[in-house]
Amino acid sequence: MFVQHHPAASPTLSTKLFIPAEDFELFIQEKSQQKIKGIIRFTYLNESFTANIFITPATIKMQVQQGFEGIRLNAPVLSSVEIAHNNYVLNGTITNRGRQNIVWLILDFIHLYNLLRLKPGTLLELYREAFGFAKTQDSDLVFGKIDIHHPIAQQVAKVLGQKWKRRHKYEFGNALDLLASVQDLLANYPLQFSKQAPTQAQNKVNI
């Protein structure tokens, strides 16, 4: 159940808007006609997760907090034509398109969470394959530290996204987010990956 908490005159968030069939809560911290900033909470497998969220007519940006610091998720950036007809927030209210994209971002997170929890070796393997491609393009790249602003990042992200889709039959919403998030997981959860035997091509990499 989606629950939207609006800021009242006091810091207490009290007013609630219930919209069925969506499983998250949104606590609004700042709001204007063109912007909503707040905290989103959702539950998966009886575990609660929290993320910062920023919504404009053209963008939705989420950054997960506890336990998954640094994981960034972004809905597709809408063009000016799309904004004029069907955007993410209108007159300070999240549109149906906005809510649907928030649900998709949560699903992206859940897929990453499940792989880290159940199959970290698979996650590592997918990244190694994409990184192998990256090294053929730029031999100076460092494992786990590809800058998403690097000229090669878009290509590497595309390769990673394609491999992810073939392996898991799921298309991650934003390939660059997938690349950045996997690298964040490699950096922040080394123990999850430490038991995965390195391939011969990567046997000098400390994860």
Q: What is the pLDDT of residue 27?
A: 92
pLDDT for residue 10 is more than 90: no
Residue 197 in this model has a pLDDT that exceeds 80: no
pLDDT at 12 exceeding the cut of 80: no
For residue 69, what pLDDT band results from cuts at 50, 70 and 90? low
Q: pLDDT grade, residue 201 (50/70/90)? A: very low
Dist CA 16 CA 69 (whole Å):
28
Quick: pLDDT tens for 129-157: 999 999 999 999 999 999 999 989 999 99
For the whole model, what pTM was predicted?
0.78
Q: pLDDT by residue (tens digit) across 180-189? A: 999 988 888 8
Residue 203 has pLDDT above 70, yes or no: no
Whether 200 has a pLDDT exceeding 60, the answer reads no
For residue 14, pLDDT over 50 is answered with no
Q: What is the 3-state secondary structure (H, E, C) of 136-200?
A: HHCCCCCCCCCCCCCCCHHHHHHHHHHHHHHHHCCCCCCHHHHHHHHHHHHHHCHHHHCCCCCCH
Domain extent listing, the chain: 2-114, 120-202
DSSP letters along 33-92, please?
SS-EEEEEEEEETTEEEEEEEEE-SS-EEEEE-TTSTT-EEEPPPPPHHHHHHS-SEETT
pLDDT band at 22 (very low <50, low <70, confident <90, very high): low
**Which residues make Cβ contacts (< 8 Å) with residue 87, sequence separation at least 6?**
57, 58, 78, 95, 97, 98
* pLDDT mean over 101-118: 89
What does pLDDT average to over the chain? 81
Mean pLDDT of 152-170: 92
pLDDT at 46 over 90: no
pLDDT tier for residue 113 given thresholds of 50, 70 and 90: confident
Please compute, for residue 185, the number of CA atoms within 13 A of its CA located in the half-sphere on the CB side.
26
Residue with tokens 């709001």: 31
Mean pLDDT of 56-67: 87
